[in-house]
A = this chain, B = another copy of it.
């Protein structure tokens, strides 16, 4: 399955590479004029996610432009609640809007039986991208983690304080775990199916992990992700898995204890020296340029990239951002960064 010539996969397996691989979260997206063109003709956002031809095209766009070592399938973490039967809508200028679930009665209505069938277009996208990608560019599949997906399902979108999700989790943990049981199974299935369709690595996004206080973090971020990884690894023992528990601070360390984690993706707030000293001996680290530097470009961008390379490139490392590419990013700046990393040698 694994392409031995991919620098990205070799780095994830801690094998020797000439220089750190690079890919960027949200590298396919609105900052690219060719994406905006496809998007304008594709209907709504979910229509694009479920259109294998167009989703494959936008997945490939940044790989054509930039010297990237991996492509990540164009999809969304909210295809899971959508596949479970929840109403999910993406509104321009607002973001995702869901018909919120509010009780264990709503959880009982979620139907996990049709998830794979519903998400078949995503697997078709992966197959198409895999067939089109050059051998040295790896293909990444992904899913949201249960906690992050649950916040959207319960709040009905983004929230200021996530108090509904938290009161449910802290106040009625048994009922909350019922929701997680459905999510863990669906997410693991979805990840396995993506590997079947050609994904050579997986990333699990827990974008709102940082909302969880200590204790709850172990219970609703670390342990569920651990169970998902165990399910995936049972079927796909070779697949490298990257975990992104955004804003988890020193609690990134918890993933040293979880079997089957190849790498952690660091958000930009992580202390790099601390991560090098406490994480990088056990895990590959990925990250963590602030996306604002890509908006700035020029010397500020290069200096910051150089700092990150100096700190991390001595041990297994994948260059990435600490969060997704911003919409206002000039594509030339992305080219500058990718060229800089591509030319860099330890």
Contact = CB atoms under 8 A, between A and B. Distances in A.
Main SS of the interface on chain A?
A: helix
Interface stretch (A11-19, A37-45, A141-149, A246-254): A246-254
A210 B269 CA distance: 6
Contact of A296 (B170, B251, B293, B326): B170
Nearest to A323: B161
Interface residues of A, number: 40
A288 interface: yes
A292 interface: yes
Interface in A300-331: 300, 304, 307, 322, 326, 328
Interface stretch (A107-115, A212-220, A227-235): A212-220
Given A170-B293, A290-B170, A215 B307 contact: yes
A272 interface: yes
Contacts of A295: 163, 167
Interface in A202-224: 210-217
A322 B271 CA distance: 21
Contact of A272 (B214, B290, B293): B214
A307 B170 CA distance: 14
- Which interface residue of A248, A268, A273 has the most chain B CB atoms within 10 A? A268
Interface in A135-186: 161, 163, 166-167, 170-171
B171 A217 contact: no
19 contacts: A161-B326, A163-B326, A166-B292, A170-B296, A170-B304, A171-B296, A210-B269, A211-B269, A213-B288, A213-B304, A214-B271, A217-B271, A248-B249, A249-B269, A250-B250, A250-B271, A251-B271, A251-B274, A253-B271
Given A214-B272, A249-B250, A249-B270, 6 more contacts: A167-B296, A170-B292, A210-B247, A213-B304, A213-B322, A253-B271
